[in-house]
């Protein structure tokens, strides 16, 4: 059932997106302003009912009727949201550019407006698009991500590459439309190098062909055809197929050309993926034993080297009072199993700021080997600490203890370790 809201005594059932837009607009007329203006907006929204098209029309008419309204920024932003939902490209550009004049670093809107301006080859629109594409590139550089080796570094690098690839692709298209073909080709190649896509390969081919470099253009267009692009459309691949036949003049050897393009693009994509993964060895870890943990001095521990043993993971942080109170109990459990080489105890720190850990250990006089969680907390859904996990000999989670009961913790954890040892014995 759709949610309902009451406007001037009338109940309206709205879809999720329209409800969001409606409440956003309602917040606008809740702001201080002339009473007549607020009443006009209320009445217009009532008449619009649950029609998104009429919703846009009401807000647009209100802006025309009250050009000096204090709510202009909010209403124009709302129109962009509604226009995006109904795929009204003209209004997305019209009001999107107005919003961008106030919010110059709005990355989502920069991307959307730039792409729409480049739907054709109009030089005036391409000039505006070029300015937005360059602004988009600069906004990407301002986003700070995790350091190499830290959890999320690979994903951040991939997302950054994807975003930069789009910014350079847009710049390529805009500059090419302005007649600078060699520069457009160079930017398209730059886009492909940072994040290989069918669209960037297609763009390279486009500007090569415009420069009369037909053989190179054919190879790059074959690359575009060979790359699986979830964001692309089948119509684009059909156009690629048609271009290949037209530019070659015949279809002789077309199969070999596409097979070579497939091998070439797969090698490029694999190399790029390996480059991202090198920043974060745990990016594709799907189980606890696929992790590599980093120690205080940068040393590495591959969890798969502990397969066949029972591993006890103690998740804690320097700011966690209960974690400090639990430590003496945890040490008692370790003492019970100190002579059993089949049991390994690992202290897993979850502090975001790694630099605070070593001073904390010195202050507390804790003589222990500590590893950072490196993304393991997210995989294992460690949402509160202290938390103790027991991993069985088979690498699967055998027990999970959230917090601790002071007078029972030592025996409870000891029993769970003993149970895990008894399962799958060597």
Containing structural domain, residue 34: 1-103
If asked whether residues 136 and 176 sit together in one domain, one would say: yes
CA 173/CA 184 separation, integer angstroms? 7
If asked whether residues 49 and 120 sit together in one domain, one would say: no
For 241, phi and psi rounded to 5 degrees? -60, -40
If asked whether residues 96 and 118 sit together in one domain, one would say: no
Residue 89 has a pLDDT of: 95
Pairing of strands 343-349, 4-7: unpaired
If asked whether residues 301 and 170 sit together in one domain, one would say: no
If asked whether residues 171 and 269 sit together in one domain, one would say: yes
Residue 145 has a pLDDT of: 82
More confident residue, 45 or 212: 212
- Tokens 């913790």 correspond to 409
What pTM was estimated for this model as a whole?
A: 0.73
Domain CATH for 391: 3.40.30.10
Domains in the chain: how many in total?
A: 3
* Residue at which a domain ends, from 77, 103, 129: 103
Residue 218 has a pLDDT of: 95
If asked whether residues 234 and 150 sit together in one domain, one would say: yes
Bridge-partner residues for 13, per DSSP? 4
If asked whether residues 238 and 368 sit together in one domain, one would say: no
Catalytic residue among 5, 254, 320, 397: 320
If asked whether residues 5 and 69 sit together in one domain, one would say: yes
- Tokens 């596409």 correspond to 258
* Residue at which a domain ends, from 264, 284, 304: 284
Q: Select from 410, 278, 296, 420 the least CA-distant residue to 346.
A: 296
If asked whether residues 279 and 298 sit together in one domain, one would say: no
Q: Select from 225, 184, 222 the least CA-distant residue to 204.
A: 184
If asked whether residues 45 and 86 sit together in one domain, one would say: yes
Residue 410, pLDDT > 80, answer yes
Q: Please, what's the largest Cα pairwise distance for the chain?
A: 84
* Neighbouring C-beta atoms of residue 232, cutoff 10 Å: 16
**Triad 200, 205, 210: Cα angle to 5°:** 130
Task: Dig out the tokens for 337 from the structure.
Answer: 């199993």
| Rounded alpha-carbon distances, angstroms, from residue 89 to 81, 104, 135 | 11, 20, 21
Catalytic residue among 110, 323, 382, 390: 323
288 DSSP 8-state letter: G
Known catalytic membership, residue 323:
yes
Length of the chain: 426
Percent of the chain with pLDDT over 70: 91
If asked whether residues 50 and 151 sit together in one domain, one would say: no
> pLDDT per residue over 105-143, tens digit each?
999 999 999 999 999 999 999 999 999 999 999 999 999
* Residue at which a domain ends, from 284, 318, 345: 284
Bridge-partner residues for 371, per DSSP? 295, 348
Residue 233, pLDDT > 90, answer no
Domain CATH for 138: 1.25.40.10
Residue 309, pLDDT > 50, answer yes
Residue 235 has a pLDDT of: 86
CA torsion through residues 57, 59, 62, 67, sign: negative
* Cis amide bond preceding 149, omega within 30: no
Residue 25 has a pLDDT of: 52
If asked whether residues 79 and 34 sit together in one domain, one would say: yes
């Amino acid at each position: 059932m759709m949610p309902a809201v009451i406007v001037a005594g009338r109940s309206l059932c709205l879809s999720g997106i329209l409800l969001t837009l409606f409440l956003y607009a309602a917040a606008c007329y809740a702001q201080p302003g002339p009473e007549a203006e607020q009443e006009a907006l209320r009445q217009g929204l009532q008449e619009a009912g649950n029609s998104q098209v009429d919703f846009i029309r009401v807000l647009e008419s209100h802006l025309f009727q009250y050009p000096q309204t204090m709510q202009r920024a909010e209403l124009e932003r709302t129109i962009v949201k509604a226009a995006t939902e109904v795929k009204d490209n003209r209004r997305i550009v019209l009001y999107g550019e107005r919003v961008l004049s106030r919010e110059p670093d709005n990355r989502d809107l920069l991307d959307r407006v730039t792409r729409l301006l480049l739907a054709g080859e109009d030089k005036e629109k391409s000039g505006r698009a070029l300015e937005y594409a360059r602004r988009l590139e600069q906004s990407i550089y301002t986003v700070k991500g995790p350091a190499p080796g830290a959890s999320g570094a690979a994903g951040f690098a991939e997302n950054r590459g994807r975003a930069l690839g789009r910014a350079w692709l847009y710049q390529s298209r805009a500059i090419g439309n302005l007649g600078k073909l060699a520069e457009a080709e160079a930017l398209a190649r730059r886009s492909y190098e940072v994040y290989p896509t069918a669209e960037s390969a297609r763009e390279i081919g486009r500007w090569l062909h415009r420069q009369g470099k037909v053989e190179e253009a054919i190879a790059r267009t074959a690359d575009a055809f060979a790359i699986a692009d979830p964001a692309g459309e089948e119509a684009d691949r059909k156009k690629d197929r048609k271009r290949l036949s037209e530019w070659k003049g015949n279809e002789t050897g077309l199969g070999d050309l596409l097979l070579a393009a497939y091998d070439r693009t797969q090698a490029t994509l694999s190399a790029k993926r390996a480059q991202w993964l090198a920043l974060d060895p745990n990016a594709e870890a799907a189980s606890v034993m696929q992790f590599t943990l980093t120690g205080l001095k940068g040393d590495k521990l591959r969890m798969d080297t502990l397969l066949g043993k029972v591993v006890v993971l103690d998740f804690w942080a320097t700011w966690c009072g209960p974690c400090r109170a639990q430590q003496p109990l945890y040490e008692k459990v370790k003492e019970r199993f100190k002579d059993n080489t089949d049991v390994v105890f690992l202290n897993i720190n979850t502090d975001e700021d790694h630099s605070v850990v070593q001073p904390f250990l010195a202050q507390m006089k804790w003589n222990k080997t500590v590893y950072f969680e490196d993304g393991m907390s997210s995989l294992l859904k460690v949402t509160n600490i202290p938390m103790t996990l027991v991993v069985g000999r088979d690498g699967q989670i055998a027990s999970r203890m959230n917090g601790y009961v002071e007078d029972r913790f030592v025996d409870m954890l000891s029993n769970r370790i003993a149970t895990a040892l008894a399962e799958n014995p060597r």
